[in-house]
């Protein structure tokens, strides 16, 4: 993990910009936050902000249970950008 | 007197005070700065030691507060100042902040939130997740109404003379809503593609990102959304209002004329444009070469008018305005631009090899200009017509193109800097500080040159250049340098003496104003003939395309009002908030990460040979990246999506703050506390390690309205197995200036310990504490219960936290009960049980008599033992944590004490609101 955390305000602002890349990332199958982060090449801590914003406003929904490693997966709900 | 009591703050202390006083019959004014009452308590998961749902306790009180007949609640409002009168009453000034939503209409449906294009940290979720600029405070908000978070007008919007919401279409582009971004431009003008190329982008001059590493490419983004629309859509997708039965004639089809036509047609008026030339577009088509503005772009923009039924009659010069009006129009707009070349009286100017710049560009635009292969072309003049003519001449094969300008230096030219630099890059030679005194006869003319006079005219007006903003008046130069040449040989001379308004059309009917402009009211653009209006350069003198668009918009708005019989005064066309300052925007950030600016790529070659557009469009990636650099200066981007989608039509951007003065008999200060800023303990890593959070954040994660789907660690979304609490973070700690115990941290930590073990049955919870303080009714049992559930409690301070590569946290602590050794343990998540600090905003409330504070800056109670709630100011009382740390139970008790004091005060002084006496 060990990265310099960016200002949360800046990261959260980017959520609007990340909708399309994240929806593209989960288009084929639901992914965990670390998996989305890997696809985007972004820190997982920043992806948490984006995914939770998208979840809140109806773009993503989580799996019923977490996997064995403690991660939920997130899938597109069908709401378009 | 307006109210018996003012209560400041609607947390549990403020609500309790208000309800009790109201129940006693007093008239209460409750002022809350947020958009909902409830304070911090409503945001908690549960309360200790009963583990009752916080909402279940707060919710009814919130509802009572709003609905009580004796309580007037002003949410989203702030008390600006309180002053005590000689008779003991108080004058209070309240600022009701503009919500930009009509709360009487708002149903709390949350459509606006979902459509909003701006994300900001959600203060109601302890900044764990974003909210939107359009937001409802939280799901249980009372009242459940939306507000728009606006910090002012974004500088880009404020700078646009056309009234285009630049921030709005940038934020829509960032979100991938390209068509919506195009439509937002259409709200102002049909010339979206044109402005995406030919605007000099004053918005970018205002862009705060330009203070960092480079401006957002706003103009290029406009071009991107226009090109995309025209490539994909058929028609503008805009519908006109129902026909009004009114008809308007517009003379001229340049940017002002077509914009006015667009706006009027949208309002349902029948619009006819009379264009003297054979094709529409005015200067856009005939004056700007295709390498800067392709004609198909102009045509696509003009085609937008067709969809609204605007009729453009070409080859239709108007010579008699009254006759035009009498032919059946209700109003007429003169938008003829600055289309006449100024007189040029140099001997030889009428020679066979001398052509006018405007005529030359018009012919070239129509592909009717003669080739200039191998010819030497001299362009006389220093405006954008001259630069365009010289560049066009090169494309037509001229062996050389020389501009002779009276301006002393590039900055003094009557054109935008970019016109000069691009012309120079293409091989145009510019001779400064030089005037042409005579043009000799013959097939190869000799131009006799002389030094330009020191007060050579320049830069006050330019064709479509932003000359009045960017160019420097040559007269400001100390003196004109000597001419670099005494004579020039030319095969073709192109004269560009400048452009002016042709007044012959309107002089008799409307009169002539400054220079040759039409005499019209600057604001309403109405002439003395009430049905006659002016727009664009005809009214303002030579200006820019963007200003002409703005003028066309204004004229259309005024004509629309005129046709409706409305006054043309007493309103603002583009009512804006004060412009957000750059320093304010930058000050919101701890840091701004560098981004390589996205800039347009202009292909400039020496002696170009074709008229292909020189500027490449942005790719979708570039548009996305470039728009992503926007800093959301005004917070709300004014993208209008909420207004368009709101089913209750409740969005009202015209709202403004409202100041109200009231008189009250007593004041209860219940402004609560602030939480310790955990990053002031850097050894704990808050703000450095994502998996170190505060207890308030954990309470949000545990609440039913949590920002995540369950308790997850913010670093990677993992369900934590091992969770540590560190008590007394920022309390009982002289190193951070707070030696006080916050009294409730131990208990809320124990509460959370129990809730976590309920939510995550497999999780191990460990609390590192200094002393366990559980001195309340059933508090000790509550502590024991947590231990019985499996929570571990380790006495000893934590010295340091470090992060492991997988995001886990290594906690180094002292284990006092097991020998006092220094131990390290690894956790998935660390929760800092932060203490509280005084809310020093309270100090600003009282002007003349300062409110007394104790040595820790809490509101002082001079005789707390005998008269709790009393302050140093007679008639001012304090309730809750404004006076010091208290848990919820004690806050309610303290509020009760304050209420009793208030009642005694009011009765003693026989204060009563007039309403109550009636």
Using DSSP bridges, classify how beta strands B311-313 and B340-341 pair: parallel, antiparallel or unpaired. Answer: unpaired
**Beta-sheet strands, E only, within B649-784:** 658-669, 673-675, 692-694, 722-729, 764-769
Mean pLDDT of B199-207: 97
Q: Which of A5, A19, A51 sits opposite B690 (nearest CB)?
A: A5
Tell me which DSSP letter residue B833 carries.
E
Looking at per-residue pLDDT, the higher value among B870 and B484 belongs to: B870
Q: Which of A2, A55, A81 sits opposite B175 (nearest CB)?
A: A81
Q: Same domain, yes or no, for B646 and B776?
A: no
Q: What's the token pair of residue B280?
A: 């529409």
Predicted pLDDT of residue A2: 52
Q: Which of B118, B176, B716 sits opposite A48 (nearest CB)?
A: B716
Predicted pLDDT of residue B102: 98
CA dihedral B461, B466, B471, B475 (to 10 degrees): 10
In angstroms, what separates the C-alpha of B760 from chain A's closest C-alpha? 11
Q: What's the token pair of residue B298?
A: 């102009």
Q: Same domain, yes or no, for B112 and B163?
A: no
**Distance (Å, whole) CA B630 – CA B108:** 29
**Beta-sheet strands, E only, within B552-690:** 658-669, 673-675
Q: Same domain, yes or no, for B488 and B512?
A: no
Predicted pLDDT of residue B1: 78
Residue B865 domain flag:
yes
Give the pLDDT band (50/70/90) at residue B69: very high
A68 neighbourhood in chain B, CB within 8 Å: none
C-beta atoms of B119 and A16 within 8 A: yes
Predicted pLDDT of residue B166: 98
Q: Which of B171, B688, B720 sits opposite A16 (nearest CB)?
A: B171
C-beta atoms of B130 and A34 within 8 A: no
Element (H, E) at A25: helix A15-25
Q: Please state whether B660 falls in left (phi above 0), alpha (psi between -120 and 50) or beta.
A: beta
> pLDDT above 70 covers what percent of chain B?
96
Give the pLDDT band (50/70/90) at residue B477: very low
Give the pLDDT band (50/70/90) at residue B441: confident
**Distance (Å, whole) CA B245 – CA B180:** 30
CB contact at 8 A, B494 and B356: yes
**Distance (Å, whole) CA B38 – CA B670:** 12
Q: Same domain, yes or no, for B732 and B827?
A: yes
Q: Same domain, yes or no, for B323 and B378?
A: no
B127 neighbourhood in chain A, CB within 8 Å: 8
CA B45 to chain CA centroid, Å, is 34
Residue B575 domain flag:
no
Q: Is the pLDDT of residue B633 over 80?
A: yes
Q: Which residues pair with B313 in a beta bridge?
A: B274
Number of neighbouring beta carbons within 10 Å of residue B336: 32
CB contact at 8 A, B423 and B345: no
B283-286's contacts with Cβ under 8 Å and 24+ in sequence apart are B283/B254, B283/B255, B283/B337, B283/B339, B283/B463, B283/B464, B283/B545, B284/B191, B284/B194, B284/B198, B284/B254, B284/B255, B284/B545, B285/B365, B286/B358, B286/B361, B286/B362, B286/B365, B286/B366
**Beta-sheet strands, E only, within B348-455:** 354-356, 376-380, 400-404, 429-431, 434-439, 445-451
C-beta atoms of B118 and A13 within 8 A: yes
A58 neighbourhood in chain B, CB within 8 Å: 114
Mean pLDDT of B215-240: 96
Residue B826 domain flag:
yes
B709 neighbourhood in chain A, CB within 8 Å: 55, 62, 72
pLDDT per residue over B392-404, tens digit each? 999 999 999 999 9
Domain boundary among B795, B817, B836: B836
pLDDT 10s digit of each residue in chain A, 81 long? 556 899 999 999 999 999 999 999 999 999 999 999 999 999 999 999 999 999 999 999 999 999 999 999 999 998 877
pLDDT per residue over B232-262, tens digit each? 998 999 999 999 999 999 999 999 999 999 9
Q: What's the token pair of residue B123?
A: 């203060």
**Distance (Å, whole) CA B255 – CA B353:** 32
Number of neighbouring beta carbons within 10 Å of residue B434: 29
Please state the φ and ψ torsions of residue B718, each to the nearest 5 degrees: -85, 145
**Distance (Å, whole) CA B439 – CA B345:** 11
CB contact at 8 A, B427 and B401: yes
Residue B571 domain flag:
no
**Distance (Å, whole) CA B7 – CA B670:** 7
Q: Please state whether B216 falls in left (phi above 0), alpha (psi between -120 and 50) or beta.
A: beta
Residues 6+ apart with CB under 8 A from A50: A11, A14, A15, A18, A22
Number of neighbouring beta carbons within 10 Å of residue B832: 30
C-beta atoms of A57 and B121 within 8 A: no
Q: Same domain, yes or no, for B787 and B853?
A: no
B764 neighbourhood in chain A, CB within 8 Å: none
Which of these, B688, B426, B598, B416, lies nearest to A45 by C-alpha position?
B688
The chain B residue lying nearest A79, using CA atoms, is B114
CA-angle at B503, arms to B499 and B508, nearest 5°: 175
Number of neighbouring beta carbons within 10 Å of residue B772: 17
CA-CA distances (angstroms) from residue B463 to B162, B292, B428, B506?
17, 14, 19, 21
Number of independent structural domains in chain B: 6
Predicted pLDDT of residue B912: 55
Q: Same domain, yes or no, for B680 and B827?
A: yes
Which of these, B790, B747, B740, B793, lies nearest to B766 by C-alpha position?
B793
Domain ranges of chain A: 8-76
Residues 6+ apart with CB under 8 A from B114: A57, A58, B132
Residues 6+ apart with CB under 8 A from B573: B163, B553, B554, B557
**Beta-sheet strands, E only, within B705-806:** 722-729, 764-769, 792-795, 798-803
Q: Same domain, yes or no, for B540 and B467?
A: no
Mean pLDDT of B635-650: 98
Q: Same domain, yes or no, for B870 and B889?
A: yes
Q: What's the token pair of residue B269?
A: 């008026």
C-beta atoms of A1 and B624 within 8 A: no
C-beta atoms of A57 and B590 within 8 A: no
Kindly provide the b/e burial profile for residues B611-623, where b requires at least 16 CB atoms within 10 angstroms of the residue's own CB. bebbbebbeeebb
Which residues constitute the domain of residue B136? 98-150+641-654
Predicted pLDDT of residue B476: 38
Give the pLDDT band (50/70/90) at residue B444: confident
Residue B220 domain flag:
yes
Q: Same domain, yes or no, for B490 and B506?
A: no
Q: What's the token pair of residue B397?
A: 């094969």
ipTM score? 0.97
Q: What's the token pair of residue B32?
A: 């809350």
Q: Is the pLDDT of residue B458 over 60?
A: no
Overall fold of domain A8-76? Arc Repressor Mutant, subunit A (1.10.10)
Residues 6+ apart with CB under 8 A from B580: B151, B152, B153, B154, B155, B208, B633, B634
Q: Which of A9, A32, A57 sits opposite B717 (nearest CB)?
A: A32
Residues 6+ apart with CB under 8 A from B726: B684, B767, B768, B798, B811, B830, B831, B832, B833
C-beta atoms of A52 and B720 within 8 A: no
Q: Which of A5, A6, A72 sits opposite B709 (nearest CB)?
A: A72
Tell me which DSSP letter residue B681 carries.
S
Residues 6+ apart with CB under 8 A from B434: B404, B405, B406, B449, B450, B451, B452, B483, B484, B485
Give the pLDDT band (50/70/90) at residue B847: confident
Whichever domain contains B721, its CATH number is: 3.50.50.60
Average pLDDT over all residues of chain B: 94
C-beta atoms of A17 and B174 within 8 A: yes
Predicted pLDDT of residue A1: 55
* Cβ–Cβ contact A5 with B under 8 A: yes
CA-angle at B83, arms to B79 and B89, nearest 5°: 105
CB contact at 8 A, B384 and B463: yes
B177 neighbourhood in chain A, CB within 8 Å: 81
Q: Is the pLDDT of residue B290 over 60?
A: yes
Predicted pLDDT of residue B471: 36
Residue B572 domain flag:
no
Kindly provide the b/e burial profile for residues B543-573, where b requires at least 16 CB atoms within 10 angstroms of the residue's own CB. bbbbbbbbbbbbbbbbbbbbbeeeebeeeee
- Determine which of B509-513, B810-814, B847-851 has the lowest per-residue pLDDT on average: B847-851
In angstroms, what separates the C-alpha of A26 from chain B's closest C-alpha? 16
Q: Same domain, yes or no, for B396 and B485?
A: yes
Q: Same domain, yes or no, for B750 and B770?
A: yes
Residues 6+ apart with CB under 8 A from B458: B382, B405, B406, B407, B412, B413, B414, B471, B473, B474, B475
Predicted pLDDT of residue B585: 98
CA-CA distances (angstroms) from residue A31 to A49, A52, A71, A75, B884?
15, 14, 9, 7, 47
In angstroms, what separates the C-alpha of B678 from chain A's closest C-alpha? 15
Mean pLDDT of B349-375: 95
With 0-12 / 13-18 / 19 or more C-beta atoms within 10 angstroms meaning exposed / middle / buried, residue B303 is middle
SS3 B443: coil
Predicted pLDDT of residue B909: 84
CB contact at 8 A, B634 and B150: yes
Residue B573 domain flag:
no
Q: Is the peptide bond before B550 cis (omega within 30 degrees of 0)?
A: no
Residue B570 domain flag:
no
Predicted pLDDT of residue B849: 86
B710 neighbourhood in chain A, CB within 8 Å: 72
* A17, A21, A51: best to mutate for the B interface, most B CBs within 10 A: A17
* Cβ–Cβ contact A62 with B under 8 A: yes
C-beta atoms of B176 and A56 within 8 A: no
CA-CA distances (angstroms) from residue B665 to B1, B75, B85, B579, B903?
7, 21, 10, 39, 10
A residues 23-52 lying closer than 8 A (beta carbon) to B: 32-34, 37, 44-45, 47-49, 51-52
CB contact at 8 A, B577 and B152: yes
Strand order in the sheet with B270-274: B311-313, B270-274, B247-251, B331-334, B532-534
């Amino acid at each position: 993990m060990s990265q310099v955390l960016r200002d949360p305000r800046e990261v959260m602002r980017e959520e609007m910009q990340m909708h399309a890349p994240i929806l593209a990332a989960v288009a084929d199958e639901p992914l965990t936050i670390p998996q989305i982060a890997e696809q985007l090449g972004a820190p997982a801590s920043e992806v948490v902000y984006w995914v939770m914003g998208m979840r809140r406003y109806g773009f993503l929904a989580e799996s019923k249970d977490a996997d064995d490693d403690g991660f939920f997966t997130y899938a597109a709900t069908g709401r378009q950008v | 007197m307006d109210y018996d009591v003012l209560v400041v703050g609607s947390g549990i202390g403020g609500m309790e005070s208000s309800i009790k006083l109201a129940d006693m019959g007093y008239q209460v004014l409750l002022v809350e700065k947020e958009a909902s009452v409830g304070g911090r308590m409503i945001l908690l998961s549960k309360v200790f030691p009963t583990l009752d749902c916080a909402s279940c306790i707060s919710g009814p009180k919130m509802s009572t507060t709003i609905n009580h007949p004796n309580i007037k609640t002003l949410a989203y409002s702030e008390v600006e100042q309180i002053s005590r009168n000689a008779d003991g009453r108080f004058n209070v000034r309240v600022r009701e902040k503009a919500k930009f939503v009509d709360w009487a209409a708002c149903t709390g449906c949350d459509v606006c939130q979902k459509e909003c294009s701006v994300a900001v940290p959600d203060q109601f979720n302890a900044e764990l997740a974003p909210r939107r600029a359009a937001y409802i405070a939280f799901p249980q908000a009372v009242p459940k109404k939306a507000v728009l978070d606006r910090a002012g007008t974004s500088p880009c919007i404020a700078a646009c003379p056309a009234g285009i919401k630049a921030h709005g279409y940038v934020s829509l582009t960032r979100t991938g809503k390209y068509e919506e971004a195009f439509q937002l431009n259409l709200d102002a003008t049909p010339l979206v593609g044109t402005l995406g190329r030919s605007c000099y982008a004053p918005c970018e001059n205002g862009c705060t990102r330009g203070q960092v590493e480079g401006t957002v490419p706003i103009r290029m983004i406009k071009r991107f959304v226009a090109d995309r629309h025209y490539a994909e859509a058929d028609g503008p997708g805009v519908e006109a209002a129902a026909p009004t039965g009114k008809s308007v004639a517009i003379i001229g089809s340049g940017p002002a004329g077509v914009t006015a036509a667009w706006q009027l047609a949208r309002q349902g008026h029948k619009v006819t444009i009379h264009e003297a030339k054979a094709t529409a577009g005015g200067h856009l088509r005939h004056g700007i070469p295709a390498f800067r503005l392709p004609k198909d772009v102009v045509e696509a923009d003009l085609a937008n008018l067709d969809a609204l039924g605007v009729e453009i009659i070409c080859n239709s010069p108007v010579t008699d305005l009254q006759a035009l009006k009498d032919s059946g129009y209700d109003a007429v707009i003169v938008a003829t631009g600055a289309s006449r070349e100024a007189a040029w009286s140099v001997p030889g100017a009428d020679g066979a090899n001398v052509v006018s710049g405007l005529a030359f560009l018009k012919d070239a635009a129509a592909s009717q200009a003669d080739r200039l292969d191998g010819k030497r072309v001299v362009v006389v003049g220093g405006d954008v017509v001259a630069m365009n003519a010289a560049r066009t001449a090169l494309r037509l094969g001229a062996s050389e193109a020389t501009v002779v300008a009276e301006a002393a230096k590039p900055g003094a030219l009557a054109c935008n800097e970019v016109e000069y630099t691009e012309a120079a890059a293409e091989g145009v030679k510019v001779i400064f500080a030089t005037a042409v005194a005579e043009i000799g006869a013959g097939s190869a003319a000799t131009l006799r040159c002389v030094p330009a006079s020191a007060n050579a005219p320049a830069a006050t007006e330019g064709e479509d250049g932003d000359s009045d903003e960017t160019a420097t008046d040559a007269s400001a130069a100390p003196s004109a340098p000597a001419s670099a040449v005494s004579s020039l040989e030319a095969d073709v001379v192109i004269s560009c003496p400048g452009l002016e308004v042709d007044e012959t059309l309107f002089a008799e009917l409307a009169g002539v104003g400054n220079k040759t402009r039409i005499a019209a009211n600057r604001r309403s653009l109405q002439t003395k003939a009430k049905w006659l209006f002016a727009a664009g350069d005809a009214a303002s003198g030579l200006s820019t395309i963007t200003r002409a668009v703005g003028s066309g918009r204004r004229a259309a708005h005024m004509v629309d009002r005129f046709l409706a019989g409305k006054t043309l005064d007493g309103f603002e066309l583009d009512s804006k908030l004060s412009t957000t300052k750059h320093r304010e925007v930058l000050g919101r950030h701890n840091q701004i990460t560098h981004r390589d600016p996205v800039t347009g790529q202009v292909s400039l070659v020496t002696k170009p040979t074709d008229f292909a557009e020189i500027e490449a469009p942005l790719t979708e990636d570039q548009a996305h990246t470039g728009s992503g650099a926007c800093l959301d200066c005004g917070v709300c981007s004014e993208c209008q999506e909420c207004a368009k989608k709101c089913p209750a039509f409740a969005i009202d951007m015209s709202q403004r703050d409202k100041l109200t003065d009231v008189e009250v008999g007593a004041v209860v200060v219940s402004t609560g506390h602030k939480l310790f800023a955990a990053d002031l303990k850097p050894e704990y890593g808050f703000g450095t390690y994502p998996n170190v959070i505060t207890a308030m954040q954990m309470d949000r994660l545990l609440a039913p309205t949590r920002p995540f789907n369950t308790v997850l660690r913010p670093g990677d979304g993992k369900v934590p197995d091992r969770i540590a609490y560190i008590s007394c973070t920022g309390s009982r700690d002289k190193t951070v200036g707070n030696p006080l115990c916050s009294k409730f941290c131990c208990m809320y930590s124990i509460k959370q310990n129990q809730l976590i073990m309920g939510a995550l049955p497999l999780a191990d919870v460990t609390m590192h504490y200094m002393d366990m303080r559980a001195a309340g009714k059933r508090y000790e049992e509550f502590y024991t219960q947590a231990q019985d559930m499996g929570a571990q409690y380790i006495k000893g301070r934590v010295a340091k936290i470090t992060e492991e590569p997988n995001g886990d946290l290594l906690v180094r602590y002292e284990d006092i009960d097991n020998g006092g050794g220094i131990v390290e343990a690894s956790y998935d998540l660390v929760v800092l049980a932060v203490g509280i600090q005084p809310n020093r905003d309270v100090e600003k409330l009282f002007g003349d008599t300062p409110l007394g504070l104790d040595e820790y800056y809490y509101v002082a109670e001079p005789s707390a033992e005998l008269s709790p709630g009393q302050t140093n100011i007679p008639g001012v009382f304090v309730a809750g944590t404004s006076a010091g740390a208290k848990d919820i139970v004690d806050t309610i008790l303290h509020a009760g004490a304050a209420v009793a004091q208030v009642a005694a005060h009011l009765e003693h002084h026989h204060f009563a609101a007039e309403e109550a006496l009636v």
